[in-house]
Structure 1
Amino acid sequence: MLTGFKSLVRKATSLFASPQAQTYPIVIPRSQHSLSRQDLSPNAVKVLYRLNKAGYDAYLVGGCIRDHIIGAKTKDFDVVTNATPEEVHATFSNSRLIGRRFKLVHVTFGREIIEVSTFRAGSTQDDNESTPQTSLKGKDSARSTHGIVLRDNVYGSIEEDAERRDFTFNALYYNVKDFSIHDFCGGLKDIEDKVIRIIGDPRQRYQEDPVRMLRAIRFAGKLGFEIEASTAAPIKEMAHLLDHIPPARLFEEVLKLLGSGNGIETFALLRKYGLFRYLFPDTDALLQSGWKRDDINPEAFILQGLKNTDDRIQNDKTTAPYFLYAILLWPSVVLRHEEFEAQGMPTTPALHQAANMVLDNQVASTAIPRRFSTPMREIWDMQFRLPKRYGKRAFLLLDHPRFRAGFDFLLIRELSGTQLDGLGDWWEAFQHATESKQRELIKNIDVRTSDKEGPKKRRPRRRRKSNGPTTETNSPSEAASE
C-alpha cells in the first residue's frame, strides 16, 4: 500500500540518525510524490485557489493526504488557512460559520461540504484553568476544571497548527501553489512504520481532549496500525475523563468508531483499553459479568451484529445509526425484560419498561436522538411480534415500516446462536412467496401450533343483562340478537 512512498520516506529521513535528530518540516516536491489534483475533490481545489486569490495561505491537511499515502479511499477534504473564520465566510457566499468550541466554516457545494479551519496555536494552560485566554486576533480559549479545552480559537502559524494536531500522520499539509507536501512532525515515517503516535506529551494531550483516546483506537482499528507505547500507556488510567465529554459528542464518536467498517477490531480495542465502559456502561457490565441465556450469548450477538455492519459498509451498502445502537443495547434489554417478567409483569409491558430503563441509562453516556430511539424500540418490539404469524398478522407485519430492520435483526440473533425454530427461514420464504403460497405457509404454522397446544376451548358467552322481567332461558330470537 505504501509503494512509491517507502522510498520517498527513506530518502527524506536517511540523512538523520533518529527521528529526534530530524529537521522539520520535510518538504516533498511534486516530482517526488504521487498526490495530484486528480486525486482531490474538485471543490476542495476551488476553495484552495479562491483563498489564495484572496491573498491567504491555504492547504489541504490531515486525513486526505494520509489516506492517499496508505492507499485508502478518501471521503473528507479539510482545508486550513491563515484567514480567520469571519474572513473565510466573507470570501464564500456559499458558506456558514459553525461551532463554538472550535469555530470553523463549512463551504457547501451541493451535497459536498468542504470544512475550512484557521491555523490554531496551542493555548497556554495557566494556574486558573477555567480562565479564558485571548490571542492577538481576539479569539479565545478556555478550559474546564478537569483541564479539558472548552474553546480552542487561538489562532497562530502553520507550524503552531501542526504542533497542536493530534497524531503525527495528521500533521501533513498539501500546498496547491507548488503541489508540495509538508511533513511537520514525522508523519511520513510513522506511516511507513504503521505507528500511531500522538504529538506532544500524551497525558497533556489526552487531558486537553479525552476524545483523542477514542481517535487513537479508531485509527488503530481502521488502519491496522499499532499504537506507539507511550501514546497507549496513559489510556486506561485516563479513560474516566470521557465522563466529562458531552454525551452528544460521544454519540457521534461511537458512530465513527463502530460504524465505519472496522467495528469488530475497534470493539476489541475499546474493551482492551478500558474505554468501552464509558460509552456503554450497562452493556460493558453485562459482558464483564458473563451473563448469558440459552437464547442469547451477549458477546456473540454483538460481534455478529458488528460483522453484519462491517460487511454492509465494505460492500458499499448503507447502515442506520439506530440499528447499530439497537445491537449494542439489546443484551441489556433482554436482561431487564427477564427481570420485569420475573416480577410478574406481562411480556409486552415488561419489554417497554426494559427499553425505557436501558435507554434512560444509556443517554447519560451517549445521547441518542429521538429520531433514532423510536426505531430502536420498534426493532426490539418486532422480535416479539415476528413469531406471531397467525391469521392476518403475517401480512400486517410484512407491511410494517420497520419490518426489514426487524427481520435483519432477527437473522443476526439466529447467526449468533439463538434458536428460533427456523423463524428466519420462514420469513425469508414468506417475503418472496406468491399470495397462495403465503397462505399455505400461515396454514402450516396454524396446524403446527394446534398440534402443540391442542384444540382451543371456546370461551362461554356472557348473557346480556335485560331491563325487563328475568327469565331462566332466552328465546331463539333473543339468542340470535345476542
Structure 2
Amino acid sequence: MPRRLIKKLKGLISGEQGKPALKVIPRGEHHFPEEDIRRNVLSVLDGLTDAGFEAYLVGGSIRDGLIGLHPKDFDIATSATPEQIKAVFPRNCRLIGRRFRLAHVRFGREIIEVATFRANHSKDEDNEHRSAQSEEGLLLRDNVFGTLDEDAIRRDFTANALYYRHTDGAVLDFVNGYQDIRRHTLRLIGDPEQRYREDPVRMLRAARFAAKLDFEIEPATAAPIRELSELLGLIPPARLFEEVLKLFLGGYAQAVWPLLVEYDLARWLFPLSIPEVNNDTGVQSMIELALRNTDNRLAEGKPVTPAFLFAVLLWGPLQTEWRRAQENGLHAAPALQKAIQKVTAKQAQHTSIPKRFGLPMREIWELQGRLDQRSPKRCESLIQHPRFRAAYDLLLLREEAGEIEPGLGDWWTRYQEADSDERAALCQGLGGNKKPRRRRRYKNRRSSNPSNS
C-alpha cells in the first residue's frame, strides 16, 4: 500500500481531517493573570500584530495561569514564518533549530520563543526538507506551517493547546483544553499511540505534567505508555539528559519518580536504578529522600546540582559493581575506580552525563570512604574540599535510609559546628591526635678516610 495512502488513512482514523470547533472564553470568564505578562512579551506580540500577522501566547504559560500559578516562560505562536519574524525584529532575532525551526527574540538576557503555526505532516508530505518521519513513526523534521486551528491539533496535550489573544484578553480553545484544566485531566490530542510514536518524549511529558499539576492522566492517554516505553531508546542520550533535568529540577521530583516507575519509563532513563534491579538495603529509600530534599531546597530558593542526584540514583549500582570487582580480586581503591567507570559507561548509554556533572559525581562517591578517616589533618583537608558538603549530604542520606549505621554523620555535623579546640577534642576522642610513627632513616655511610690519591 502506498505510503501516502497509509498516512491519509491514519489521519482519517485519528480524526485529523475534521476542522476543530473554536470556543472563545472572553476576558472576565477566565482567571488568567494578565498582569504577569512581561513588557518584552507584549512588545513581541504588538510587533507581530502591527506587521499584519496573528500572534498569541500559547502553551504552559496559559495553562499555569488558569490553574492559579504564576507563569514564568511565555511562548508565542504566530502566522509569520521564521524569516518574516526575523524581518519584524531584525536586530534582536535569531533563527534556530533544524528539526523544529523557530525564532528567539532577545531583550538583553531575556529570550522569547516564537514559533510559526504548524500543520499536519500529510499537508506537505512530499517535501522532506520540511517534514520527515522514521520507520518507527518518529518525527525527524517538523516544519510544515499551517493555520491557527491546525496548530492547535498538532500540540501534545489539550491543556497545552490554549491561546491567549492579548488584544482583547480572550482565551481560544479548539480542543476542550479549558474544560480538561478545570477537571484536572491530562489528555493527549489525537490518537495516543501515533502521537507517542511521533515523539516518545511525550510519554515523559505526560508523567511530568501529571506530577507538576497534580492532574490525572486520562485512561486512553495512559494506556499505551508501558507498551511503547521502549521507544525512548530511539531518543539521543543528550536529549534525555535535558528531560531528566526537567523531571527532577522542577520542584516535583518526589511525585514524578513513582510515575516513571509505574509506567516503565524509569527503565529507559535509569535502568540500573529501578526497584527490581537496584534492591540493596536502603537504596530506594535514599532515592525517595533525595528527591524530597531536592523539592524542599527548590521551594526554599536554594541551589541544587544534578551531580548529587545522579550520585544518589547510581549509588546502589555502584555498590554492586564495587563488591563484584573486589570479589574478583581487586583491592578496594582500584575496584572502586573500575566500578565507577563501568556504572557511568552503562548510564551514559541512556542519559548522557556531561563532564561538569560527571566529575563532581565521581568525587562525591570517592569522598564517602575518606569521611571515616578522621585524623586532624585529614578532617581539615576534607572540610575544605569543594565536594565535601555534597558528600556529607550523601552520608546523611545513607544513614537516614538505613544503608549504614548512624553515627558518622552526627560526628561530622558536630565537627562543622565546632571551633578549632573543639575539633581537636573530637579527633582526640577517636585517637586521632596520635602522631604517626616515623620511619627510621639511615644515613648513607661513606668512608671517613679520604681516598688515597
The answer to whether TM tops 0.5 is: yes
Q: CA 1:379–1:79 in structure 2 vs 1: closer, same or farther (change >3 Å)?
A: same
| CA displacement 1:205-238 (0-9 Å, x = unmatched) | 0110111111111111111111111111111111
Q: Distance in 1 between matches of 2:412 and 2:23?
A: 60
Contact kept, 8 Å, 1:279 with 1:366, in 2: the verdict is yes
- Residue 242 in 1 paired to residue 232 in 2? yes
Structure 2: distance between partners of 1:427 and 1:94: 52
Kept in 1, the 8 Å contact 2:283–2:403? The answer is no
Q: Given the superposition, is the C-alpha separation of residues 328 and 73 from structure 1 closer, same or farther in structure 2, using an over 3 Å criterion?
A: farther
Shift of 1:114: 1.2
Instruction: Give the Cα–Cα distance (whole angstroms) in 1 for the partners of residues 430 and 102 of structure 2.
Output: 60
Q: Is the 8 A contact 1:133 1:142 kept in 2?
A: no
Give 2:304's aligned amino acid: T
Q: Which residue of 51, 54, 59 corresponds with 2:56?
A: 59
Counterparts of 1:72-471 in structure 2, within 5 Å, are: 72-92=69-89, 93-124=91-122, 133-134=126-127, 140-284=130-274, 287-289=275-277, 291-292=279-280, 296-446=281-431, 461=440
- 2:310 partner amino acid: Y
- TM-score (normalizing by structure 2): 0.89
> 2: distance between equivalents of 1:23 and 1:356?
53
Structure 2: distance between partners of 1:415 and 1:74 = 36
> Runs (4+) of structure 1 moved beyond 6 Å?
none
Change (3 A) 1:111 1:422: farther
CA RMSD of aligned residues (A): 2.4
1:281 partner SS: coil
| CA contact 1:141–1:153 (8 Å) conserved in 2 | yes
CA distance in structure 2 between the partners assigned to 1:408 and 1:414 by the alignment: 10
Structure 2 CA distance for partners of 1:406 and 1:460, relative to 1, 3 Å: closer
Over 3 Å counting, the alpha-carbon distance change for 1:461 and 1:328 in structure 2 is same
- Tell me the matched-pair count: 430
Identity score, percent: 48
Distance 1:291 1:182 in 2: 49
- CA shift for structure 1 position 443: 1.5
Check conservation: 1:84, 1:118, Cα contact below 8 A. Answer: yes
Q: CA deviation at 1:342?
A: 1.8
Contact map agreement 1:61 1:78 (CA 8 A) in 2: yes
| Match in the other structure for 2:32 | 35
CA contact (8 A) 1:261 1:313 kept: yes
413-422 or 73-82: which moved more?
A: 413-422
Aligned to 1:17: none
| Counterpart secondary structure, 1:147 | coil
Provide Cα deviations, 1:233-255, integer angstroms capped at 9, x if missing partner.
11111111000011111111111
Tell me if the contact between 1:102 and 1:152 (Cα under 8 Å) persists in the aligned partners. Answer: yes
Question: TM (normalized to structure 1)?
Answer: 0.84
Structure 2: runs of 5 or more not aligned: 1-18, 449-453
Q: Is the 8 A contact 2:20 2:175 kept in 1?
A: no
Distance 1:435 1:460, change over 3 A: closer
CA distance in 2, matches of 1:244, 1:84: 30
* Aligned CA distance change for structure 1 residues 441 and 459 (closer, same or farther; 3 Å): closer
SS of the residue corresponding to residue 106 of structure 2 reads strand
